[in-house]
Amino acid sequence: MKKIISVLSAVCLLGAGAFSCGFKIKESGTSLTTGCKASYLMDFDSGECIFKENEFQRIPIASVCKVMTLTLAMDAVKEGKISLTDTVTASDNAAGMGGSQVFLGSGCEYTIDQLLKSIVVCSANDSCVAISETVAGSEDVFVAQMNKKAEELGCKDTLFANCTGLPKEPQYSCAHDVALMFSNLLSHENYFNYSKIWLEDFAHPDNRTTTMTNTNKLIRKYSNCDGGKTGFTNEAGFCLAATAKKDNMRLISVILGADSSDNRFKSTVNMFDFGFANYKNKIILDKDITLNDKFSVSGGKKDDFEVCPERNSYVFSAIDKSPEVTFSLTAQKVKAPVEKGQIVGQIEVFKDGILYDTVNVVSAENVQKADFGDNLVNIAGEWAI
């Protein structure tokens, strides 16, 4: 059984807030535009939109579709279906893929780790097909799973026809959906083990070596960028989904249909710069700081114990606004023993009166169960009274 304990006063309120889309740049007074077919800029933690252009327009996204290929593969690793150390024998089908590739040898064995790295770094089509055949048995089944995952994520304007993004009808997505899919991929921390690699050799078992160069130039040219997925076909134009982090804020940018490779990178940098200059993510719950409120425990060697948030919580906001942030703390009835890290309640975070985030509350310490001697002391104390 739970009960509302208090409106939290243990954490300081923000000094900034509010959101907008389709804004104008305050410094120059001119509209922020990209000149591309579609674009989207959002905060990673909250999912709040900062900027959008034709965000639901269904258009080809070329190799950016590998965001979903990587997602399914990393989901499979997380769920234990495959391991990074597992070996995969490249099929004739995989080795025969055209376009960007790492030149897998038919019948040669590669690890899942190698294949994922080559997809992230150099957009290897052959590795995508090898991964799809390993995870789902065939590329067709894998593509069906890609579409199912997109639907689960709320991507209503996305349809995949293959796992590579090579031209094939019908297939399309939109800037909004790409942002959702890329955000989901970034929840896999292992992704960043690959995404920050600029140059690396790919060793084949037949003693060949392929040098991989990251297709995302912002890894070297923009200090805050630590991930991204490029794409290009004549039909799709130049595309890029990228992420950058500064202080507490991670942004996700999507550019679709740029007229040149340089423009997709320049437009992405412009959006990142605007987001970092005009918005911030204020930490309002710190997992390393205990709350003022202690929780009661029955049957323990002590009557109460300290608690803390299970994770950090942030409120994303414009730097010149001050939203009202309030908290409601809910406690469970707890009996000893209590283990440090045990979930014992929840904090609801409200922004301007609207539920914004819900964070578990965990015990910050161990509480041992009272033994016979402790109970005797308690009884004696009661008689003394």
Query: Which of helix, strand or coil describes residue 362?
Result: strand
- Half-sphere exposure at residue 28, Cβ-oriented, CA atoms within 13 angstroms: 7
CB neighbour list of residue 305: distance below 8 Å, 6 or more residues apart: 294, 295, 297, 338, 363, 364, 365, 367
In this predicted structure, what is the pLDDT of residue 322? Answer: 84
Q: Of these residues, 63, 183, 195, 313, which one is catalytic?
A: 63
CA distance 181 to 73: 14
Is residue 361 a contact partner of residue 328, using CB atoms and an 8 Å limit?
Answer: no
Parts of the chain with a pLDDT under 50: 1-30, 376-377, 379-384
CA distance 165 to 129: 11
> Could you confirm whether 63 is annotated as catalytic?
yes
User: Counting beta carbons within 10 angstroms of the beta carbon of residue 193, is it exposed (0 to 12), middle (13 to 18) or buried (19 or more)?
Assistant: middle
In this predicted structure, what is the pLDDT of residue 23? Answer: 30
In this predicted structure, what is the pLDDT of residue 60? Answer: 97
Alpha carbon 381 to its chain centroid, in Å, reads: 54
CA distance 258 to 230: 11
In this predicted structure, what is the pLDDT of residue 21? Answer: 30
Query: Which of helix, strand or coil describes residue 322?
Result: coil
- pLDDT for 64-85, tens place per residue? 999 999 999 999 999 999 999 9
Q: Of these residues, 37, 66, 117, 217, which one is catalytic?
A: 66
Q: What angle separates helix 139-152 from helix 125-136, to the nearest 10 degrees? A: 90
- pLDDT for 133-187, tens place per residue? 999 999 999 999 999 999 999 999 999 999 999 999 999 999 999 999 999 999 9
Alpha carbon 355 to its chain centroid, in Å, reads: 21
Is residue 273 a contact partner of residue 327, using CB atoms and an 8 Å limit?
Answer: no
- pLDDT for 96-117, tens place per residue? 998 999 999 999 999 999 999 9
In this predicted structure, what is the pLDDT of residue 20? Answer: 29
Q: Of these residues, 39, 123, 183, 317, which one is catalytic?
A: 123
In this predicted structure, what is the pLDDT of residue 19? Answer: 27
Among 144, 131, 161, smallest CA distance to 61 is for 161
> Could you confirm whether 260 is annotated as catalytic?
no
**Encoding tokens for residue 287?**
């997992």
pTM of structure: 0.83
In this predicted structure, what is the pLDDT of residue 155? Answer: 98
> Could you confirm whether 66 is annotated as catalytic?
yes
In this predicted structure, what is the pLDDT of residue 2? Answer: 39
CA distance 100 to 97: 9
| Sign of the torsion angle spanned by Cα atoms 149, 151, 154, 160 | positive
Domains of the chain: 2-15+284-374 (2.60.410.10), 38-258 (3.40.710.10)
In this predicted structure, what is the pLDDT of residue 188? Answer: 97
